[in-house]
Structure 1
Amino acid sequence: MITQTTRPLGILGLEPGAELTPESPGVALHPSTLGFPVISEKVTGGWAEDVSRGDPALESACIAAARRLVERGAVAISSECGFFIRHQAAVAKSVNVPVVLSSLLLLPTLLRQLPPPAKVAVLTFDSTRCTEDLLGIDDPAEQSRIVIGGIEGSKYWHDEQKRPPPACDVGTLEKDVTACVARVRAAHPDIAMILFECTGFPRVASAIRRSTKLPVYDITTLARMTYASLV
């Protein structure tokens, strides 16, 4: 029986159905990552490629999955893909618990932590799809402090768009993310903070913190903060 102290975080899962995969520590669905219970409900039709490109037909499936999670006792709702932020408002209106579908919700707060002209690097699964309308920043001066870098074309990018996707090769993912960080820092030496949009990147967050000596935020940061405020 779910009690107040064991109420889980609900996660909107991608196709083909989120599972607790022992080979993937670092992601929110792995039992060792967050330190509190999580449950998931698949967003029907929510393949990574369709979510990242912003298929509007997924909105009703997101709402249905969120409602199922609340019925199962979820204390808040997060997601397995940062691009679900496109459905943040609709899902938040549909349930009576906090909804935090993407780490991009942290971006306005992170910019305020830094003095101008220091910048925040947003590292994403696909920079061509991480458009300005997803960032929640309207001020042009603040927009100029955001640097977007992606790993499109990488092995992980290709693998995640397969149906079904294979198990993550963490070593290769670390190399791809490290290379992306190097590119954006070479072009923007004033980057002072990193935000991972992609929910797969927390697997390598510790390695990136060690190599860059910069703060690195991701969906697990937001999930922990949200859960800690509720239970």
Structure 2
Amino acid sequence: MTSQTPRSLGVLNLERGLPLDRTPALLPGSMLNPATFDFPIILETVPGAWADIVIPGDAALEPACVAAARRLVERGAVAITSDCGFFIRHQASVAAAVNVPVAMSSLLLLPTLLRLLPLAAKLAVLTADSRHCGKDLLGLNDSVEQARIVIGGIEGGSYLPQAMKRPLPPPDVSAIETDVVACIERLRAAHPEIAAILFECTAFPLVAPSIRRITQLPIYDITSLCRLLIASFR
């Protein structure tokens, strides 16, 4: 018999400087918006996890990530993710600390997505800041697979400086779309073999529908992975 109990996804949240019920981040497609998914979400803020710390990385955040993940499990989460792809640095520690599936970043999809594409095709990884998204975060040891990954960032645009502020302001969807489109155009001009796109940044799902229409390419992001996580319990 199939359980009728809703399965909740736990989300490790960035510091924002405002209570969640007072932040306008709850836009369609946002990881923090319950309407984004057809299953419940539970949120836990990681103390000290401001975007300007998480993006370049800080090992000192690891205990706080583990503690927040454990709180999510205690509150009923059957799987755990995060609302910043750069939390991937803490994937191993969090997964070892709890007894539920953990997917801290959409970057975990990379090995599978490469296998979905022809060998001659390339996969573009769109990140908030390519200066901090190196090969060490991709989880790929094979040099042939690494060569099929093209990384592009929006650090030259207007959105990233907004996302690094304290408190975190409302996401500027227009700025995100402008920056993402410009980045994709640069990448495709240099690499016409790009056949699919993976969004690392958890703000990018806000513009995923429009980017799919513009590029006519398959777009994958953290919400794709979250739905896969919860579907395994249904």
Instruction: Name the TM-score, length of structure 2 as normaliser.
Output: 0.94
Q: Percent identity?
A: 62
Correspondence for 1:68 among 71, 82, 93? 71
Deviation at 1:23, TM superposition (A): 4.8
Deviations for 1:181-209, whole angstroms, at most 9, x for unmatched residues?
10000000000000000000000001111
SS in 2 for 1:35: coil
Q: 2: distance between equivalents of 1:39 and 1:208?
A: 28
Matched, 1:191 2:213: no
Correspondence for 1:97 among 83, 86, 100? 100
Q: 1: distance between equivalents of 2:117 and 2:16?
A: 39
Instruction: Name the TM-score, length of structure 1 as normaliser.
Output: 0.96
Deviation at 1:22, TM superposition (A): 6.4
Q: 1: distance between equivalents of 2:129 and 2:231?
A: 30
**Aligned counterpart, 2:208:** 205
Moved over 6 A (4+): none
2:209 counterpart letter in structure 1:
S
Q: How does 1:38-53 map to 2 (within 5 A)?
A: 38-53=41-56
Deviation at 1:97, TM superposition (A): 0.4
Q: Decide which moves more: 147-156 or 71-80.
A: 147-156
1:66 counterpart letter in structure 2:
A
Q: CA RMSD in A?
A: 1.4
Gap regions ≥5 residues in structure 1: none
Deviations for 1:131-170, whole angstroms, at most 9, x for unmatched residues?
1010011111111100000001322100111011111111
**Aligned counterpart, 2:159:** 156
Gap regions ≥5 residues in structure 2: none
The 3 A distance-change label for structure 1 pair 22 and 161 is closer
SS in 2 for 1:5: coil
SS in 1 for 2:155: coil
Deviation at 1:19, TM superposition (A): 2.4
| Alignment check: 8 A CA contact 2:123 2:149 kept | yes
**Aligned counterpart, 1:215:** 218
Correspondence for 2:87 among 81, 84, 91? 84
| Alignment check: 8 A CA contact 2:16 2:166 kept | yes
SS in 2 for 1:24: coil
Matched, 1:229 2:221: no
Deviation at 1:53, TM superposition (A): 0.6
**Aligned counterpart, 2:20:** 19
